[in-house]
Amino acid sequence: MGLFDKKYCDVCGNKIGLLGNHKLANGNLCKDCNAQLSPWLTGRKQMTVQDIIAHLNYRAENARVLEMFQETRVVGTNMQVHIDDVHGWLFFTRSTDWRKANPDVLRFDQITGADYQIHEYEHQTAVEVENVAPPPAEPPVPPAPAADAFGRPLDEYGRPLDEYGRPLDEYGRPLDEYGRPVPPPPGPAGRPTPPPPPPR
């Protein structure tokens, strides 16, 4: 038998195109029949024509079961699990038109175990903003007033200064370099001079 001899499907009898042949253990399978096989089927090349015919009969019955499928829950995003709690059925598929895809329907009691993985995704959105001034590195400090309400000049800490340039406390007493009140000079009979009244 030559390489380019005509081949026919041993299941449906249709002519097989040049690149459409799928080998079986004892025959050939066309691409249309091959497309009807379960996506979970393995070992096709070791299967006989009779095995494929029995499998396609099962696939036809599976399509009839799907017509009765009452979807109550869907789990997943890419590969989804469709669940029918009414009949106790489920199937796995990536297809949005699952009736046409004809995924294999399983009973709940056929599930004996499962492995699962958790995938976490992070999504970041970049927003382009134009003509926006950058925030200041530090909040601005308002300038201290140059004089108090009585016209006395102020030092860098906002304290009024006397005529000698010494800072004054809230009672108008001069302060030394350590911020302590300067004791007044002694008055009559060696008594200290009382501090002046606070300004009004």
Domain co-membership, 35 together with 15: yes
Q: Is residue 120 scored above 80 in pLDDT? A: no
Q: Is residue 3 scored above 60 in pLDDT? A: no
**C-beta of residue 105 within 8 angstroms of C-beta of residue 69:** yes
**CB under 8 Å to 93, separation ≥6 — which residues?**
79, 80, 82, 101, 103
In this prediction, residue 127 has a pLDDT band, given cuts at 50, 70 and 90, of: confident
**Cα 134-138-144 angle, rounded to 5 deg:** 125
Number of compact structural domains in the chain: 3
Six token digits for residue 146: 């140059």
Domain co-membership, 16 together with 46: yes
Domain co-membership, 19 together with 56: yes
Q: Give me the pLDDT at residue 106, please.
A: 95
Domain co-membership, 44 together with 78: no
Q: What does pTM read for this prediction?
A: 0.55
Domain co-membership, 42 together with 23: yes
Q: Is residue 5 scored above 80 in pLDDT? A: no
Residue 107 falls within a domain, yes or no? yes
Q: Give me the pLDDT at residue 164, please.
A: 83
Domain co-membership, 56 together with 100: no
Domain co-membership, 19 together with 37: yes
Six token digits for residue 195: 């501090």
Domain co-membership, 44 together with 57: yes
**C-beta of residue 175 within 8 angstroms of C-beta of residue 181:** yes
Residues spanned by the domain of 169: 144-184
Domain co-membership, 23 together with 57: yes
pLDDT tens digit sequence for 41-99: 999 999 999 999 999 999 999 999 999 999 999 998 889 999 999 999 999 999 999 99
Taking residues 23-44, report their average pLDDT: 94
| β-strand pairing of 22-23 with 15-16 | unpaired
Domain co-membership, 57 together with 17: yes
Q: Give Cα separations from 200 to 150, 166, 171, 196 (angstroms).
A: 9, 20, 10, 12
**C-beta of residue 35 within 8 angstroms of C-beta of residue 43:** no
pLDDT tens digit sequence for 140-191: 676 666 787 788 888 888 888 888 888 888 878 888 877 788 877 665 655 5
Q: Give me the pLDDT at residue 178, please.
A: 77
Q: Is residue 200 scored above 60 in pLDDT? A: no
Six token digits for residue 167: 């800072």
In this prediction, residue 131 has a pLDDT band, given cuts at 50, 70 and 90, of: confident
Residue 190 falls within a domain, yes or no? no
